[in-house]
Amino acid sequence: MGMLNPARAMRSVLAMVLAATTSSVHAQETGVLPPFITSSIAVVVKEKCCDWQSQHVPVPDSADREALEKLRDRAYRNGIILQLKLDNDRSLKLIDETNLGNTCDGYDGCRKHRLTGYWPKQRQYIVEVDLWEGGNTYLVSARDGRLLRVGSPPILSPSGEYAIAIDNSIAYPNGGLELIDLRKDPPTGMRLPDLSSRPWTKPQLWLRPNPRWLDDTRIIFEGSLDPVQFDPDVKHILRIVDGKPEWEC
């Protein structure tokens, strides 16, 4: 039987203490992608954020310091705990799970949460999660702390009604592609139909890695994947028709 990781045990105890000492519920998670990554320790607490912190506490030197500076009235970090402001004087607290020393070295359960932005119109925080290998991203509702997990930081459409997220890593070639519908509350994620991926025989079918919105209904994928060579005459364009995605021929 393996030994219990002391850092993970400490964070689990901390989550239980938060839940026991506050009026709290565990954050709800939907739209899991990819499916095998375990959940973060996330607790919604009856606690205001972040008036006094923004006035009296300097922003810590952390990976998300730039975002925390911009969102001082909405977000705060205290060591391994990232706190985000929710409606009705509540907060969401996301607790990092790392080795002692705040690293992921040799720890396959590692999860480090990093605030990277906030969409005020959609009322969604963007929180990137660093794992031992790779990572994923949460969209966090500022209303109730609900989590939508996607494979990578999503890119908003011009109108803000949709967002596109792509994880084109070796583990998920073309498979980590998701359309987020932000017209709904809560938002929903839809796995997109992928291209037939056989890069060693048909390089034009290997999805280019960089999505860019042409308008509110069309997304072009650009760039290259070394050493994959692309046919310059083949364009990868995804079109949204009545809320459903389809590839242009």
Domain membership of residue 189 (yes or no) is: no
| pLDDT of 175 over the 80 cut | no
pLDDT, tens digit, 9 for 90 and up, residues 35-54: 333 468 888 888 888 876 55
What are the E-state strand segments in the chain?
A: 25-26, 29-30, 41-45, 75-78, 81-86, 90-95, 111-119, 124-131, 135-141, 147-150, 155-156, 162-167, 176-181, 188-191, 210-213, 218-222, 236-241, 244-247
Higher-pLDDT residue of 92, 97: 92
231 within some domain: no
Residue 240 confidence (pLDDT) above 60: yes
**Which structural domain, as residue segments, surrounds residue 44?**
1-144
Single pTM value for the model = 0.79
Contact 216, 161 (CB under 8 A): yes
pLDDT class of 67 with cuts at 50, 70, 90: very high
Is 60 within the bounds of a domain? yes
Of the candidates 136, 153, 210, 216, the one whose C-alpha atom is nearest the C-alpha of residue 183 is 216
pLDDT digits (tens, 9 = 90+) for 99-113: 766 667 666 678 889
* Residue 47 lies inside a defined structural domain of this protein: yes
Q: Is 216 among the domain residues? A: no
Based on the number of CB atoms within 10 Å of its own CB, is 100 exposed (0-12), middle (13-18) or buried (19 or more)? Answer: exposed
* Cβ atoms of residues 120 and 178 within 8 Å: no
| pLDDT at residue 247, as a whole number | 82
Distance of alpha carbon 137 from alpha carbon 129, whole angstroms: 6
- The verdict on residue 203 lying in a domain is no
Task: Say how far apart CA 201 and CA 69 lie, in whole Å.
Answer: 48
Contact 186, 141 (CB under 8 A): yes
Q: Say if 55 falls within a structural domain.
A: yes
- SS3 category, 214: coil
Structural domain includes residue 220: no
Count structural domains, the chain: 1
